[in-house]
Amino acid sequence: MAEIVMAKNAGFCFGVRRATETVERLLATRKGAGQYTCILGKLIHNPGYNAFLAEQGAKIIGEQEIDGYFDLAQKGADVCIVIRTHGIVRPVEEKLKQYAAACPRFTYCDCTCPYVKKIHKIAADHAEPTDGFLLIGAPDHPEVLSIMSYAGENSVVCENAEQLESILLEKKETFDGCMTLHMAAQTTQKLSEWKKCQKIIKKVYTNSKIFDTICGVTENRQTEAESISAASDGMIVIGGRDSSNTGKLFEVCKKHCPHTTLWVEDASEIDRSVLAQCTKIGITAGASTPDRIIEEVKKTMTEQENFAQLLESSMKTLNTGDTVVGVVTYVSNNEIHLDLGAKATGVITYDQITDDPSVKLTEMFKLGDEVEGFVIKVSDLDGIATLSKKRVDADKNREKVLATVDSGETLEGKVIEAVRGGVIVSVDSVHVFVPASMTGVPKDGDLHSIVGTNQKIKVIEVKGNRAYGSIRAVQREERKAKEAAFWAEIEEGKVYEGPVKSLTSYGAFVDLGGVDGMVHVSELSWKRIKNPAEVVKVGDVIRVFVKSVDKEAKRISLGYKTEDTDPWFIFNNQYQIGDVANVKIVSIMPFGAFAEIVDGVDGLIHISQIADRKLGTPAEVLEVGQMVDAKIVDINNETKKVSLSIRALLETEEEVEVEIVEEAAEEVADAE
């Protein structure tokens, strides 16, 4: 049995432990309805632990989802956003601060590692145009992205010493113009690489300022891993596949044990065949590895088993070209790993699973799923078999897709690429070429406009290994079916809503759902109009009814104006003889004045009914645009004419005044 050496500096560091304890405490106290605990990205690089948090109610969200949760908080939900140890970019943190100030139900908890916060401050303090800033780290790592959001314009990320030398040459003019060049490192940066970078920068820029920002725990962990791996003939490095510090540990250990260093996320991934001949095995773990997983690995390795016998009894041989079935043991956004019951672990990368860039492997697969793959390559040295699920799917689906040439069946696929002369549609992983003329995109239109969309197609021809399809053929069939259904259901009096497609001098054409009908200019308004544009414009959605239909000639006559909109109908519902209306003088004639009562209905105020005295012309007291009160003295519904009188109102006022005077006189007489 091999000797097991356990690293002392393994597992959660201070920052990670602080973050996990904080989140677990939040979840324990926030279990009611309408309470949301959201983590911006995965809290740590450990799928098992993140799954545990999800079971407890934590939601892992992206930056683009913050606005949605803020809306929930404004509606009464209790929302807490957790910033993980890597930190977040400055604009997002500012947004969280603003939202928290604006809504008391929206809070955030900053679990950024103190070491990372320190680098944020260094970057911000040296962001002036006269400063230069270099960060040694992985450009796409969340921690690096957050740090660089605080840096100034003269700032660059370098992944290693080799890249640093290139950057210093490329940016020589920029950095030479800086008063001081500052350099820091990602907290989990490999120590040996950091030392190389320091040596380079000191040689080129003697006035540079170097900040030692590698986490002390990380440094101790790497130093210890170096020592243990140098004295062992096998190593197990425990941590998430996307953990930067675990990756650095793996590199350190592999330097001394190139063929017998395993990177596992938990005990189930230990490939005992790799360690079968080892006599001394070291175990270390990244900063995101929970204690329980470290203990499980340690326990597994201390069990007395004969690795050689297990190897002989359970392992099978793999060959290129085989089709095999494996069980999913690991899923990330980039690849999945399969237990094939062989010496090699099956690996299927994203591009060998799907062509759809929107697919998330973490949603497509779960641990324990069985997946069939085609063996592309086997590397006994690395213990990896490269597989293709897409190849298996394509072989299975190709016959099914090609058979539709004869059946005429409609298929559905996703447009994955615009190429010269057309687009490629993926139908169940089978590529079908659709010529530009058959895409439904107008001539000289942009084929990229349909990339990423799902489309229904028909396979119309197969030449050799290439399948040709048509989107237009399906669109044409659907359009014909839609039109047939429309003509079968249309009838006089039926009401439709549709957009105005075009205007002519004699009417407006309205889309009723794939079929156009016309509203004659005389049907658009109760008032006399010269052009349809006076009432509607292209794009307006209007409500119309069928006046008549000729199914043989495919013609539809539509009505738009209704009794409800008839000005005379509106007038009669509002006024009657004897009512007083506030009217607008619209024209003056020698015999009187015409006044608008409601839109579309005018009344005549005869010259004799304008004033209580004789007038030579109505213009003596009235002018166009003037608003006056007038009494409705007559309504002729047959001729649709209205007679108005201002004088009637004046006489009434005089009579009232006379009555008041007479009553006053009587009161005076009684008093005497």
Catalytic residue numbers read 143
By the 10 Å C-beta count (0-12 exposed, 13-18 middle, 19+ buried), 191 is classed as: middle
Residue 300 token pair: 């597994």
CB 187 within 8 A of CB 136: no
Measured from the Cβ of residue 453, the count of other Cβ atoms closer than 10 Å reads: 11
- Nearest alpha-carbon partner for 188 in 245, 237, 242, 148: 245
Q: State which amino acid sits at residue 323.
A: T
**What CA–CA distances, in Å, run from 143 to 404, 505, 664?**
51, 66, 95
Alpha-carbon gap, residue 611 to 168, rounded angstroms: 96
Measured from the Cβ of residue 305, the count of other Cβ atoms closer than 10 Å reads: 13
Secondary structure class of 451 (helix, strand, coil): coil
- Nearest alpha-carbon partner for 45 in 330, 413, 259: 330
Residue 641 token pair: 């004419």
- The per-residue DSSP string of 106-165 comes to EEEEE---HHHHHHHHHHHHT-STTEEEEEES-TTSHHHHHHHTTS-SSEEEESSHHHHH
CB 143 within 8 A of CB 87: yes
CA 121 to chain centre: 32
CB 125 within 8 A of CB 174: no
Alpha-carbon gap, residue 12 to 327, rounded angstroms: 29
CB 360 within 8 A of CB 335: no
CB 324 within 8 A of CB 387: yes
Alpha-carbon gap, residue 339 to 271, rounded angstroms: 10
Looking up tokens 């592999």 gives 254
CB 168 within 8 A of CB 189: no
**What CA–CA distances, in Å, run from 183 to 119, 201, 312?**
10, 8, 53
Q: State which amino acid sits at residue 259.
A: H
Residue 244 token pair: 């930067």
Residues 6+ apart with CB under 8 A from 476: none
Q: What is the 3-state secondary structure (H, E, C) of 367-383?
A: CCCEEEEEEEEEECCCC
CB 45 within 8 A of CB 240: yes
Alpha-carbon gap, residue 659 to 653, rounded angstroms: 10
CB 597 within 8 A of CB 653: no
Phi/psi of residue 202, each to 5°? -65, -30
Alpha-carbon gap, residue 497 to 345, rounded angstroms: 61
Secondary structure class of 503 (helix, strand, coil): strand
Looking up tokens 């920002």 gives 213
